[in-house]
A = this chain, B = another copy of it.
């Protein structure tokens, strides 16, 4: 998913640094993402990143923005896999699944994306791409409502409930807390139960 760009250096340094940061995040986790290790891995001096990013928080925000774009793509792809004449509620469920799968495939990146204190939340890319990702969930929620599901509820609150559920599951599972609290649950059973309770189809008869 993330190609190595450290060996060739055609791309400008700012883009290269973000790519190297994604590699570092994937391979060694969130603690290993420091400005200096980043610079070493990119083959530049320790002061070079400062020329492209205002601070470490700013760089983190830029990396997080890339994560949100990745998340949006994953949601779009999963929804597109459900045929358009199918049940919109199935697409909503698929979007929720994609959220969790994307998070668990990139645990370090995902942890960074939601560490508000550690990144510059005023960064423009971050604001744009994070809200864009949530718009996806809202869109699929609205479509499900238009097909007759939970028509009386506020769309934002409904989308929010789906969001907190998949997000909570992803973070607790990625951190190992879910497995510790609920020892014998498979990830598929757990995720299916969560999505059924939130986005139930006909009071949970189906499946």
Contacts and interface: CB of A to CB of B under 8 A. Distances in A.
Interface of A: 29-31, 111, 114-118, 121, 127, 130-131, 134, 153-154, 156-161, 163-169, 171-172, 175-178, 180-182, 184-185, 189-190, 193-194, 197-198, 203
B153 A193 contact: yes
Contact of A114 (B159, B164, B171, B182): B171
- The residue in A117, A130, A154, A157 that gathers the most chain B C-beta atoms within 10 A of its C-beta is A157
A30 B193 contact: no
Contacts of A169: 160, 164, 168
Nearest to A169: B164
Contacts of A158: 193, 197
Given A114-B172, A159-B182, A181-B134, A164 B197 contact: no
15 contacts: A31-B117, A111-B117, A114-B175, A115-B175, A130-B177, A130-B180, A134-B182, A156-B182, A160-B169, A160-B185, A160-B190, A161-B193, A167-B168, A168-B171, A203-B203
